[in-house]
Every structure is written in structure tokens, then in C-alpha cells.
Amino acid sequence: MELCSGSRTTRFQRISTLLQCTSFAQALPGFKVFIIEESHSLTAEAWDELSGIFENICSATMIVVLIVGEANMIPEAISSKCQKFCFPRLNSMDVTLKLLRIVSEEAITIEKEALKLIVAEAEGSLKEAEHILDQLTILGPRINSSMVQQLVGLVPQHKLVNLLKAALSGDNKKTVTIAKELVATGIEAEAIVFQLTSLITDILTGAAITIPNHSAFAGPSEDEELLQTESRPINTQSENLCYALKILAAAEKQPRSSFDHNAWLFAALLQIASSDNSGGISLGIAFPKRIFLPSGTLFSIELQWRL
């Protein structure tokens, strides 16, 4: 039932009647269980009314489950009476495999790069990943990285790699050019810094989102063209990556209201490109190292990126 439908009096009277009179097969013997989704979106008025309903109607045989994204969004008067269960976000592999099942069942064709962007944007939320995929299917049965980029405002992986490559090689002009092109497409500066930080972290740790081969894929993605033989970052390369990571982390902490959002992005990139450490970097950094799917899964692929 929508809590915001109809007049204030009518809608809460319906809730009260529902709690008192509903008869259905009980999930737990001797208990009635009511679930309120998206509880964090309720207004203060709604919470006041619900609090009164709970106090007057709820009994030892009634359980009310509040589903909320952020626990601090629940008023203290309600939260203090609740037993809390925290569920961790899913890892990237779980979200990826679930989306693969969906695109297979729905006969959707999707680029690997597009799938990685969806998983990155979802940040461990399967519901959000499915919502993004559902929005993209409205545009057609073939989904590419450009469509995802326009929808969620993320940088395609190959462009992100090119930007990092230019900055680490000390090419100021190319670094600024690539960054300006990304900003011109409507991508937020915060998103670029966040993705660069994640990419560098993946390189240093050898981690990344693994995308299995599947018939639903539209063909080789642009970043697969970067696949080369495996190499390991030497100490100097790792130092440069750590230095870049430190600069980007500092940029993320800058007050957003003090100046133009794009200014600190360009400043951070130029600081990386102009540093003494970036001078003669060998471009043998793996993006990322070799990765395999866990044994027992239906698909497997070995991904290896290198500049």
C-alpha cells in the first residue's frame, strides 16, 4: 500500500485497518508480519502517524519490518525500539553473474565494458544494478558503454586507462585534453576522480571486476584491445601509482563549495603529470593482472590489461 496515496486521514486509517483486520497465511506461526519498504523515504508526518499506530495496535504477535538503505534515516523514537540487522553489499562478482543470467534470459546483447560500468555504478546493490539495466533495455536490445555512460555519468574503462596513462607519462597537454573531453560529455569531476582512484587501487592490488565470456556480449570491447602479455609493475611504477593515489585522495577531500568542481580535477591531474616521479615511466603496468572466475561457475575468461 502506498503511504502517500489519498488524504492524510484516509491513508492512515487504511493502514490501521490493514494491521488490525488482515487475515492471511502466516509466515511465522502465531505472528503477523508486515513489511514497509523504502522506509527512509517516509516524511516526518508519516513517522508520527505510524508511531501512533504501532503503539496503539501492535502486539506481541505482530512484527513490523522496516527496510531502509541508511539506518540513521529512521527517527530515534522508532529506531530505539527496533532490532537491527545489517546486510553487507554484494561483491562485484555476485552482481555481475546475476546480471549475466538476466541478459541471457531476456536475450539482451551487452558489451563487457557496459556491464562493468553498470556494476561499478551499482556499488554492491543488486537492486540498483537491475534498475539501471532495466532503464537501458528501454533504449533497445543492444547495450553499449556509451549508453551506460550517458545514463549514469561514468567514464568508459578504456578512456580512464588512457587518462591515467597520459598523466603517469608526464604528458600535460594530452592529460588536460582527455580530461576536458570527459568533462564536456557531462561526466562529473567527482566521478572521474573516484574511478581513477578505484583503477589505481585495482592495479596495485591486482583486483578488478571479472567479466566472463558469454553469447550475450556484443563482441570484443574496446578495452580488450589493450590486452597484452602479462607484466608486473616494478618498484618505480608502484611508487608513481601510490603518489598518484595520494594526490587523488587529497583532491577528494577538497571543499566542493570553495571553487569550480573541475578546477581541482585538472589541478590534481597536472600535479601527477608534472611530478618528478612521472618523468620516464615505463608503460609496462598491468591493468589489471590475470584474473580467473571461481571454479564451478558456468563461464570463465582470463583478462589481462596493459598499457
Delimit the domains of the chain by residue range.
Answer: 8-79, 92-278
pLDDT at 48: 82
pLDDT tens by residue, 85-122: 888 888 888 899 999 999 999 988 998 888 988 988 88
pLDDT at 102: 93
Helix (H) or strand (E) segment spanning residue 236: helix 235-252
pLDDT tens by residue, 60-76: 777 888 888 777 888 88
pLDDT tens by residue, 200-258: 887 887 655 555 566 565 555 444 443 333 334 445 678 888 889 899 888 877 665 54
Cβ–Cβ under 8 Å, residues 209 and 301: no
State how far the Cα of 222 lies from the Cα of 214, in Å rounded to an integer: 16
Does residue 212 have a cis peptide bond before it, meaning omega lies within 30 degrees of 0? no
pLDDT surpasses 80 at 177? yes
Mean pLDDT of 29-36: 77
Task: Grade residue 19 by pLDDT with cuts at 50, 70 and 90.
Answer: low
Q: Counting runs of H as helices and runs of E as strands, what totals does the chain give?
A: 12, 4
Neighbours of 11 (CB within 10 A): 17
CATH class name, domain 8-79:
alpha beta
State how far the Cα of 306 lies from the Cα of 284, in Å rounded to an integer: 7
